[in-house]
Chains A and B, each alone.
Chain A
Amino acid sequence: PRELTPPSPLSFPSTVTSEQIEHLHRRFKQLSRDQLTIRKENFDSIPDLEFNPIRGKIVHAFFDKRNLRQESDGLADEINFEDFLTIMSYFRPIEMNMDEEQLDRFRKEKLKFLFHMYDSDHDGKITLQEYRNVVEELLSGNPHLEKESARSIADGAMMEAASICVGQMGPDQVYEGITFEDFLKMWQGIDIETKMHVRFLNMDTIAHCY
């Protein structure tokens, strides 16, 4: 079923300053080599990103039309600065003056972003195979870990997810996959707001750690 389009990110109360946007713009220009748009290949120029096991998924997230709040589905070929900011907005920190409703919406947005990362075929469900893919990617840094172990970890986690979301299943029942509602259920009570944000620092003279 189609979801309702959420409001645009600029309607959230925001404490992003124009300076921060300037910095992000400079960064954007650096990545795009002074072009107006960025393509997937532009992310290859980031050395720190190379070591990240889920690099593919992260880059993919920038071009995922679901995250860009566009009506259509699938992947964009290139994104402009506004799209770039849209994706960055998923990592905004909590603001102190948010009320319950805003906090709830905020949290849902972040979880939605995460959900899209798992759900690679865009069908609105995280299937066992998709979850296995994520686990394998995350554990890919270890040359000694066999594929079997990665699989069994994924299977175990899916079973647990099934028991949270569906409860006891009959012997013939097949758990198709985790829908977004189920995903939300799994995260109930767990505080993600303080773990999933990037906070801007002062532009004051930087001291070194010595």
Chain B
Amino acid sequence: SQGIIERDETPMEKEIARLHRVDFEFSDIFYFCRKGFEAIVEDEVTQRFSSEELVSWNLLTRTNVNFHYISLRLSIVWGIGVIVRYCFLLPLRFTLAAIGITSMIVGTTMVGQLPNSSVKNYLSEVVHLTCSRILVRALSGTIHYHNKENKPQKGGICVANHTSPIDAIILTNDGCYAMVGQVHGGLMGVIQRAAVKACPHVWFERSEMKDRLLVTKRLREHVADKSKLPILIFPEGTCINNTSVMMFKKGSFEIGGTIYPVAIKYDPQFGDAFWNSSKYNIVSYLLRIMTSWAIVCNVWYMPPMVRKEGEDAVQFANRVRSVIARQGGLTELPWDGGLKRAKVKDTFKEEQQKNYSKMLVRNGSVG
């Protein structure tokens, strides 16, 4: 049967092991309390990588699994919706997207020909912003930016929660950032290579990504240069369904510099922005996005944060994560987004069961 709540998937063994290292606090009870409640509300392992619940149907088939046939009128309205979305909105959006991408490639290539100067930087900004805006229109995006006074400055690092590949476009719609990522092939690769001519994005080859020191070094160099654009990083490392913020990889927080946290929250009523990469590939994802009603989201810029004395990268990462979760109304979950692709090992569970049964047998009774 289907799951109904978001689960905390940290294996209990790991949490118990942490307790044994004797850094025990009053707050440790939270974890077990919560696990207990989850177990009581439902038994089975739920996937938090499915999309957020809607209170009322928004006329998209993809969200109507729990809704039953109600009336002929509603079905007709839905039918009209389908026609509008697929025959009218989709071609329009597709055209806009094509224009946006082409302008981006052409524009950045042209600007890239210029010698390095402030004129080049200015033009590069203009090109990036314009193309970003075209692309956002192509998705019928309505974005509300809050607290613009906290917008990321040059030489800083912008950190945000990750829900979909379009997060980057949402942010670049309002400012210019240096992107960080792997070099891809295909159309994406073309865009990347063109963009980096105009503005110093940081692209890594796949092999280089594995070398953490190299990555950190390059990012540090970029940040140290105060004339360079702020770096945009998504520390969760994978797309989450926008109801929670998962563990931040500490690498981003070891670079130093000022961190500008940003919270992005999509309104699921108009269209689900979450990319479940294990369920859909990028093309079908984009198709879904382009046949939704709109992408509506809120972006909150938060005041800059720096690492405190005596705070290590992990603590700093958690601090930033709390701030983002709080602002976006998202749950904080202490586990790794990497578990999206791998199940908690069965051997762990068996070990755990053995331990506990030993304990139970020894003590005689349960609870």
A-to-B contact residues, CB < 8 Å: 15, 17, 19-20, 23-24, 27, 31, 43-44, 46-56, 58-59, 88, 91, 93-96, 114, 117-118, 134-135, 138-143, 145, 149, 153, 157, 161, 186-187, 190-210
Interface residue from A56, A190, A194, A201 paired with B4 (Cβ < 8 Å): A201
Q: Does B51 sit at the interface, judged by CB under 8 A?
A: yes
B37 and A207 within 8 A (CB): no
Shortest B284–chain A CB gap in Å is: 13
Q: Which residues of A contact B283 (CB under 8 A)?
A: none
Q: Which residues of A contact B65 (CB under 8 A)?
A: 203-205
B54 and A202 within 8 A (CB): yes
27 pairs of residues in contact across A and B, judged by CB atoms under 8 Å: A20-B4, A43-B40, A46-B39, A48-B38, A51-B352, A52-B35, A53-B32, A93-B329, A142-B16, A142-B19, A143-B355, A143-B359, A191-B326, A195-B27, A196-B33, A198-B5, A199-B6, A200-B6, A201-B5, A201-B46, A203-B66, A204-B65, A206-B3, A206-B50, A207-B47, A209-B49, A209-B341
Q: Which residue of B lies closest to A49 (CB)?
A: B39
Q: Does B55 sit at the interface, judged by CB under 8 A?
A: yes
Q: Which residues of B contact A206 (CB under 8 A)?
A: 2-3, 46-47, 50
Interface residue from A23, A138, A153, A198 paired with B6 (Cβ < 8 Å): A198
A201 with B29, Cβ < 8 A, contacts A52-B12, A157-B24 known: no
- Interface set, chain B 217-253, CB cutoff 8 A to A: 243-244
A210 to B278, CA, bound (A): 6
A193 to B36, CA, bound (A): 17
Top 6 A-B residue pairs of the complex, sorted by shortest distance between their CB atoms: A48-B39, A58-B36, A202-B53, A56-B367, A194-B332, A207-B279
A153 to B53, CA, bound (A): 42
Q: Which residues of A contact B12 (CB under 8 A)?
A: 51-52
A198 to B331, CA, bound (A): 8
Q: Which residues of B contact A139 (CB under 8 A)?
A: 16, 19-20, 24
Of A49, A93, A145, chain B has the most CB atoms within 10 Å of the CB of A49
Q: Which residues of A contact B43 (CB under 8 A)?
A: 46-48
- Interface set, chain B 9-65, CB cutoff 8 A to A: 12, 16, 19-20, 22, 24-30, 32-43, 46-55, 62-63, 65
- Chain B: interface residue total (CB-CB under 8 A): 70
Of A51, A114, A196, chain B has the most CB atoms within 10 Å of the CB of A51
Q: A198-B5, A205-B50 are known contacts; what are 19 more A-B pairs with Cβ within 8 Å?
A: A27-B41, A27-B42, A46-B39, A51-B353, A58-B40, A94-B329, A114-B30, A139-B16, A143-B358, A145-B20, A157-B24, A186-B26, A194-B332, A200-B53, A201-B46, A205-B65, A207-B276, A209-B47, A209-B278
A52 and B39 within 8 A (CB): yes
Q: Does B87 sit at the interface, judged by CB under 8 A?
A: no
Q: Does B259 sit at the interface, judged by CB under 8 A?
A: no
A53 with B367, Cβ < 8 A, contacts A91-B34, A204-B51 known: no
Q: Which residues of B contact A27 (CB under 8 A)?
A: 41-42
Q: Which residues of B contact A145 (CB under 8 A)?
A: 20
Q: Which residues of B contact A114 (CB under 8 A)?
A: 29-30, 33
Shortest A202–chain B CB gap in Å is: 4
Q: Which residue of A lies closest to B243 (CB)?
A: A199
Q: Which residue of B lies closest to A43 (CB)?
A: B40
Shortest B163–chain A CB gap in Å is: 14
A177 to B339, CA, bound (A): 42
Q: Which residues of A contact B276 (CB under 8 A)?
A: 207
Q: Which residues of A contact B27 (CB under 8 A)?
A: 190, 192, 195
Q: Does B198 sit at the interface, judged by CB under 8 A?
A: no
Q: Mark B317-346, 1 if CB is under 8 A from A, else 0.
A: 000001001100111100000011111000
Shortest B339–chain A CB gap in Å is: 7
A194 with B36, Cβ < 8 A, contacts A24-B41, A55-B367 known: no
A205 to B63, CA, bound (A): 9
Interface residue from A15, A50, A198, A203 paired with B41 (Cβ < 8 Å): A198
Q: Does B366 sit at the interface, judged by CB under 8 A?
A: yes
Interface residue from A50, A149, A195 paired with B356 (Cβ < 8 Å): A50
Q: Which residues of A contact B62 (CB under 8 A)?
A: 204
Q: Which residues of A contact B36 (CB under 8 A)?
A: 49, 52, 54-55, 58
Shortest B30–chain A CB gap in Å is: 5
- Interface set, chain B 185-211, CB cutoff 8 A to A: none
A53 and B322 within 8 A (CB): no
Interface residue from A24, A141, A197, A201 paired with B355 (Cβ < 8 Å): A141
Q: Which residue of B lies closest to A97 (CB)?
A: B329
A46 to B244, CA, bound (A): 26
A196 with B30, Cβ < 8 A, contacts A20-B4, A48-B43, A209-B342 known: yes
Of A20, A24, A138, A161, chain B has the most CB atoms within 10 Å of the CB of A138
Of A54, A96, A153, A192, chain B has the most CB atoms within 10 Å of the CB of A54
